[in-house]
Amino acid sequence: MGKPGSMSTWQLALMTAAAVISLRGLPMMAQEELTMFFYILFATVLFLIPASLVSAELGGAFAAKGGGVYTWVKEAYNKKAGFLAIFLQWIQNVAWYPIVLGFAAAAIAYTIGKPELADNGKFVGIFSIAVYWLATLLTFKGSSIVSKITSRGFLIGTVLPGIVIIVMALVWIIGGNPIAFKELPASVPEIASVTAGHPHPRFFPHMTGLSDLAFLAGIVLLFAGVEVHAVHANELRNPQKQYPKAMFIAAIMSFLIFTLGALAMAVITPYKDISLQSGLMESFRYVFDHYHIGWMTNVVSLLVAFGALAGVLSWIAGPSRGLLWTARDGELPQSLTKTNKNGVQKNILLIQGGIVTLLSLFYIFIKNVNVAWFLLSALTVGLYLIMYMLMYASAIKLRRTQPDLPRAYKVPGGNAGMWLIAGIGFLAVLFSFVLTFFPPSQLPVGSPATYTALVAGGTILFVAIPLIVSSVMAKKRTAASAGTKGSGTGK
């Protein structure tokens, strides 16, 4: 950990933005057309900002202890709750890999000039499995190539393509081309209202049930991850002033890139052609083909794929380090503390790879790739949101149980301020969590009951696993302790 003053406001802002911003979310927002402003404002104001401020206080207070969210929740409650929090953070990240790899598969399909493969479940599934294990092997080797790829991935594979789609949308408008969001189908009332027989884009979602808001949960997930860099709060010269400024800058950057990027897609691409998997590449294809530079689609799609794969490499070992902390703390079997000669937690990564492989099979066995993609997203966001609820609850409790704990940064307003900020964040997260169980009305999910059962079953399973493991490990520790005492008495 660096010394106070070793990090600037802008450095922390850029690090946070890099952790949050991903182009894979643009199609999901673009599919909401102009109602995207409602969803993005909700995610920014009620999720990103509260999560940033609360995690800053916790990260600065417990930076020396390490362990991230595991330590925060453990200090507020107990090891079992801490293990639940870090497990959920880890497993949601595991479930995230098939999502971003599916996005990368779609980009590669456009790169090689076969866009139809983006909707081929077997191609997407096999690509996701093969590339993930390749990334895992690179991680095992601790290759310096990995760090070089990840350091350039955000700029080349995320920021640059994001700027390209925004600029091309401006060129599209200036050229007098038709604006796609002005020609919406009347059959989708969630995003279009009909006046005098002509559909017009809505700015506020039309709600007849929670299914009409189901995309909100997925959009909230796009803004998640801000807590990862909260531990750097005490590296600022003046955390109390600089941290909220850094988070404000990161929030503005996230809002602008997400909003302008998604709006650019909505300007160029007809609603019926916006796919959750490959919508971004389809937008590039539309505009580049129009200006007779279709070869640019292959080039930019390759950059997008590079950015997505760099994101996988950057995260593949990180979150699992949290499980290494819990294993060393006795909450997991000691076999999971094993590392290879490069210090990489090999057994944890092998288990992680097995789960990613199983989840990637969704693409192969679920007929509609978009539905499989969103189902994985819903499961992922549900698990992550439970972790955030634990984080908010811990922050509130620690203000009461450890009031004298040195905090490099404190949420302003005293305890009332913490209750307000963390309370707003908790309620927003709770509402979003409920929405994950409702299939989106915009997608052909087939059986809503089956969709809900899969999400609910997956959530219950992944929440139960750490609780069961904690109970088993506690019994083993009790038995070992009793055996030690018995041996001592026998002597």
- 111-163 tens-digit pLDDT: 999 988 988 889 999 999 999 999 888 888 765 566 667 667 778 888 899 99
Beta bridge partners of 199: 194
Give the Å distances, CA to CA, from 122 to 101, 365, 397. Answer: 13, 8, 48
Residue 353 in contact with residue 328, Cβ under 8 Å? no
The pLDDT score that the predictor gives to residue 353 is 93
Q: Which residue has the higher pLDDT, 185 or 75?
A: 75
Q: 391 versus 377: which is more confidently predicted? A: 391
Mean pLDDT on 63-90:
85
Contacts of 429 (CB under 8 A, 6+ apart): 47, 220, 385, 388, 389, 392
Nearest-angstrom CA–CA distance, 219 and 213: 10
- Which residue type sits at 455? V
Q: Which residue do the tokens 């450890």 mark? A: 402
pLDDT exceeds 90 at position 397: yes
Q: What is the distance between the alpha carbons of residues 434 and 272, in angstroms, rounded to a whole number?
A: 28
pLDDT, tens digit (0-9, with 9 covering 90-100), for 180-199: 777 766 556 565 566 656 66
Which pLDDT belongs to residue 171? 94
CB 13 within 8 A of CB 249: yes
Of the listed ranges 221-225, 350-354, 435-439, 481-485, the one predicted with least confidence: 481-485
DSSP labels, 179-228: -GGGS--TT-TTTEEEETTEEEE-SS---SSGGGGTHHHHHHHHT--GGG
CA distances from 470 to 44, 83, 321, 349, 463 (A): 35, 8, 18, 20, 12
Asked if the model's pLDDT at residue 478 lies above 60, the reply is yes
Q: Is the pLDDT of residue 401 over 90?
A: yes
In the predicted structure, residue 442 carries a pLDDT above the cut 70: no
pLDDT given for residue 22 in this prediction: 81
Question: Of 278, 444, 441, which Cα lies nearest the Cα of 371?
Answer: 444
The pair of three-digit structure tokens given for residue 33, joined into one six-digit string: 């057309």
Whole-angstrom Cα distance, residue 459 to residue 240?
37
Q: Which of 270, 314, 276, 415 is nearest to 285 (CA)?
A: 270
Nearest Cα neighbor of 381 from 313, 428, 338 is 428
User: What is the rounded distance in angstroms from the CA atom of residue 44 to the CA atom of residue 257?
Assistant: 12
Give the C-alpha separation, 301 to 318, whole Å.
Answer: 27
Give the pLDDT confidence of 336-386 residue by residue, as tens digits: 888 888 777 889 999 999 999 998 888 888 777 666 666 676 677 788 889
In Å, what is the CA distance from 405 to each residue of 32, 52, 75, 154, 394? 44, 19, 11, 36, 14
H-run or E-run covering 235 = none
pLDDT of residue 255: 82
Dist. CA 488–CA 491, nearest whole Å: 5
Give the pLDDT band of residue 491 (cuts 50, 70, 90). Answer: very low
For the ranges 79-88, 272-281, 292-301, the lowest mean pLDDT is seen at 272-281
pLDDT (0 to 100) of residue 423: 95
Task: Find the mean pLDDT for residues 398-405.
Answer: 92
Is the per-residue pLDDT at 409 higher than 90?
Answer: no
CA dist 293 and 270 (Å) reads 20
Distance of CA 157 to the CA centre of its chain: 17
More confident residue, 251 or 190: 251
Pairwise CA distance, residues 391 & 68, whole Å: 10
CA distance 66 to 56: 14
d(CA 280, CA 304): 9
pLDDT confidence of residue 5: 65
Which residue type occupies 97?
Answer: Y
Q: Is 225 exposed, middle or buried (0-12, 13-18, 19+ CB in 10 A)?
A: buried
Report residue 431 as tokens: 């509402």
102 pLDDT exceeds 70?
yes
Other beta carbons within 10 angstroms of residue 254's beta carbon come to: 22
> What percentage of residues in the chain have a pLDDT greater than 70?
82
Binning pLDDT at 50, 70 and 90, where does residue 299 land? very high
Start-to-end CA span in the chain (Å): 47
Residue 411 CA: distances (Å) to CA of 214, 240, 266: 31, 9, 37
62 with 394: CB under 8 angstroms? no
Is the confidence at residue 477, as pLDDT, over 60?
Answer: yes
**Where in 378-479 does DSSP place strands (E)?**
none
Asked if 202 and 192 touch (Cβ cutoff 8 Å), the reply is yes
Q: How confident is the model at residue 24 (pLDDT cuts 50, 70, 90)?
A: confident
Q: Where are the alpha helices (DSSP H) in 112-200?
A: 121-141, 144-154, 160-174
Average predicted confidence (pLDDT) for the chain? 81
Per-residue b/e over 39-76, b at no fewer than 16 CB within 10 Å?
bbebbbebbbbbbbbbbbbbbbbbbeeebbbbbbbbbb
Give the tens place of pLDDT for each residue, 307-329: 888 878 877 766 777 788 788 88
Q: Which class would CATH give 9-479?
A: mainly alpha
Tokens read off for 365: 């066995």
153-162, 413-422, 440-449: segment of lowest average pLDDT = 440-449
